[in-house]
Amino acid sequence: MAPITIRSVLISESVDPRCRAVLEENGIRVTERPNMKTEELMAEIQNYDGLVVRSATKVTADIINATDNLKIIGRAGTGVDNVDVDAATKKGVIVMNTPSGNTISAAELTCIMLMNLSRNVPQATMSMKQGNWDRKKFMGSELFGKVLGIVGLGRIGKEVASRMQSFGMKTIGYDPITPPEVSASWGVEQMSLEKLWPQCDYITVHTPLMPSTVGLLSDETFALCKRGVKVVNCARGGIIDEAALLRALESGQCGGAGLDVFVEEPPKDRSLVNHPNVISCPHLGASTKEAQARCGEDIALQIVDMVKGKNLIGAVNAQVLASTFSQESHQLIKLGEAVGAVLQSCSASPKAPWSHVQITTQGEVIGYVAKEDIHRCIILHCVTLTPQVNQSHSASNVAAEGLCQVEVGVNGCSYKAIGSVRGGVPVLLELSDSVFRQPVTLNGNLLFFKASADPQLLTSVIGLLAAEGVEVESFSGPADRAGDLWYCVGMSSLIKDLNALKPVVKHAAQLSI
């Protein structure tokens, strides 16, 4: 990885003193200015290469676009909801967080929520403070033998599982990235969400907030659950549909909820907070001395590593990462993006979720960092959560340039693509068992179509494209001549209506790379 020059960093919130100390020990000038208004931050940020925030500072597109000097935004915590990652990516700014800094603290709070939901401790405490002694009102239930569903089996989900297993809970889970055999090694049986919901006595969510996880627990989801299921959200507000949760609580379908996060913080609508079966906190997941110390030091160390050209940990925008690597790695990451885009476009249902993803990279040239980011770029094309993503890498020198093979499942069908880099350019070698005679250059406007071999096929396609005002710039056909196979045409522009090709092809897809 090529080093990046960071001479000065602005810290806009209160972080652990170790953050400043580590940065200054490595020759980086640090200024701490907490509680700035947006206008003040927009004016101040122009003087710095880096910005370190926690969760209170909203790093909007206006702030990012107010400077041409900013190279990195460091979030001392796990999420980046308060950072406009898209705007940063367009501006070429790396966004990184501290993936493990608050893991233990967030996991412990989740466990506390689960225990309090089972024994009504907060409600009983308030009753006692009001002078009451009501033992029957706060009858609880044991955790022993109950089923805990963990949605999101990353660092925090794993720690929650190990702790609640000590109470004798059965732990089941779902995660699109963690292989089932890995989670099984720490006692969590993975399954689809459809199978998980009906089994759970308790559910806790530990996913990032993204379009595919907004409203993950909804009216439809609660209807699939056991009556009286209890839920915990110490991850991100919005993963549980708050209106649906309130309806489930009122109907008794949900027996209780532990909430540390809300869509709006602090919440103006107090319906959930005031509900007798809800226990809540003001976003305290990372609010421990230990977590803040770790997050502050971790973000500083990550920035220093980046400056020295060492490991780049916690970066969330893979597109920007490409510019920080060597030219070879940059090309391989572009290959990963292109292969993911081709598979997304060519599946029979381009907007449908991928049911499984198998990513295999081969070759010495694909080093550790590049391999991880090729995988990440491909997974970015999964528009919704997928049940399983398996990743593997072989260093065997099968091809000097390195190979990237991706297989995905969509609506019961399987699609496979194999790509490589030739002469510094990403190319597609094979698409769903159609091996191209000439590698497809993954650049420009591309039309992929599936059809039976016919001597008149190319002439017919060219004629139909010409009628749409589109010129053919390149053509790649399959080496085989039997059955329905994939072809690729490079075009001067995208065709307005793919239905124009229906007379001669069985399936068509187009994209710009």
Residue with the two structure tokens 């490595």: 26
The catalytic site residues sit at: 236, 265, 283
Q: What is the pLDDT of residues 94-123, one digit of tens each?
A: 999 998 889 999 999 999 999 999 999 999
Can you give the pLDDT at residue 386?
A: 45
pLDDT of residue 371: 52
Q: What is the pLDDT of residues 447-504, one digit of tens each?
A: 999 999 888 898 999 999 999 999 999 999 998 877 889 999 999 999 999 999 999 9
Across residues 68-94, what is the average pLDDT? 90
C-alpha 260/C-alpha 199 separation (Å) is 24
Please, which pLDDT band fits residue 215 given cuts at 50, 70 and 90?
Answer: very high
Mean pLDDT lowest for which of 121-125, 393-397, 431-435, 503-507?
Answer: 393-397
- Is residue 140's pLDDT more than 60? yes
Identify the residue whose tokens are 């990032």: 208
pLDDT at 395: 61
Query: What mean pLDDT is reported for the chain?
Result: 88
The distance of Cα 376 from the centroid of its chain, to the nearest Å, equals 9
At residue 125, does pLDDT exceed 90?
Answer: yes
What average pLDDT score do residues 228-246 get? 97
Helices (H), 26-70: 38-44, 61-64
First-to-last C-alpha distance (Å) of the chain? 25
pLDDT at 256 over 90: yes
Residue the block writes with tokens 């929520």:
113
**Residues 6+ away with beta carbon under 8 Å from 205:** 151, 152, 213, 216, 217, 231, 232, 233, 235, 239, 240
- What count of Cα atoms within 13 Å lies in the side-chain half-sphere of residue 364? 3
Model pTM? 0.65
Residues 6+ apart with CB under 8 A from 364: 395, 397, 402
Give the span between the Cα atoms of 288 and 16, in whole angstroms.
11
What pLDDT score was predicted for residue 179? 83
Instruction: Tell me: pLDDT of 128 over 90.
Output: yes
Say how far apart CA 417 and CA 419 lie, in whole Å: 7
Predicted pLDDT of residue 53: 96
State the pLDDT at residue 385: 43
Hey, what are 385's tokens? 């959560």
Asked if residues 110 and 155 have their Cβ atoms less than 8 Å apart, the reply is no
Of 103-112, 351-360, 412-421, 500-509, which range is least confident? 351-360
